[in-house]
């Protein structure tokens, strides 16, 4: 069923698109070594964060939780630690996978009424859901993506001094 997206969904999607652009934009120009370099004490790197956004955010929230896609739900354990990027993984492929997954998520977002209840929830992992509708998920993903964009801002500035959208 295709639903004509309501103005609220279009507004929320526009904000999410802005955060996704920020995530990718702050990484623009970094070479593969810099994308793999851990900078903060926790040890994650930029590619690990992008892979987390791809698998644990875009795929999990929109395809598993909002849509209830059984194939995605059944594959969730396959990437037990999305933050870890294998040594042979290509940076461009990880970035492209994020773009592709974001586009796939947009399809779900545009086809789902804003007040639609969650189609699936992993009670065995997280107990009772704290989010209840598609709107709640959209707001959660916007917040998480924005938070991670801020993390990437910090890492980028520590790597080479570049800052994103600085108003002076």
Q: What confidence tier does 78 reach under pLDDT thresholds 50, 70, 90? A: confident
Rounded distance, CA 29 to CA 162, Å? 10
* Number of domains observed in the structure of the chain: 1
Q: 72 is in which domain, residue-wise?
A: 7-160
Question: How many residues are there in the chain?
Answer: 168
Is residue 2 included in any domain, yes or no?
Answer: no
Tokens describing residue 166: 């600085």
For position 2, what pLDDT does the model report?
A: 54
58 within domain boundaries? yes
Mean pLDDT to the nearest integer, 61-90: 92
Provide the 10 A C-beta neighbour count for residue 123: 9
The residue written with tokens 């810099």 in the block is 34
Encode pLDDT of 40-71 as tens digits: 999 999 999 999 999 999 999 999 999 999 99
Residue 167 counted as domain residue: no
pLDDT digit string, tens, across residues 16-43:
999 999 999 999 999 999 999 999 999 9
Q: What is the CATH number of the domain that holds 24?
A: 1.20.120.450
Give exposure, 20-32, as e/b (b: 16+ Cβ within 10 Å).
bebbeebbeebee
Range in 4-8, 65-69, 112-116 the model is least confident about:
4-8
Q: pLDDT (tens digit, 9 = 90+) per residue, 123-168?
A: 988 899 999 999 999 999 999 999 999 999 999 999 999 998 766 5
Q: What pLDDT is attached to residue 77?
A: 76
Q: What is the pLDDT of residue 35?
A: 98
Q: Is residue 166 part of a domain?
A: no
Structural domain includes residue 98: yes
pLDDT at 3: 56
């Amino acid at each position: 069923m295709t639903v004509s997206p309501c103005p609220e969904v279009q507004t929320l999607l526009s904000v999410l698109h802005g955060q996704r652009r920020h995530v990718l934009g702050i990484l623009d120009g970094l070479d593969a070594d810099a994308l793999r370099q851990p900078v903060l004490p926790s040890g994650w790197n930029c590619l690990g964060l992008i892979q987390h956004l791809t698998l644990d955010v875009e795929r999990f929230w929109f395809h598993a939780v909002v849509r209830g896609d059984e194939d995605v739900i059944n594959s969730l354990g396959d990437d037990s630690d999305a933050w870890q990027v294998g040594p042979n993984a290509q940076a461009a492929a990880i970035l492209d996978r994020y773009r592709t997954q974001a586009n796939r998520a947009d399809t779900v977002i545009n086809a789902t009424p804003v007040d639609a209840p969650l189609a699936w929830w992993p009670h065995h992992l997280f107990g009772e859901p704290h989010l209840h509708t598609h709107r709640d998920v959209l707001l959660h993903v916007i917040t998480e993506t924005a938070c991670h964009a801020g993390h990437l801002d910090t890492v980028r500035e520590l790597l080479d001094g570049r800052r994103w959208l600085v108003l002076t």
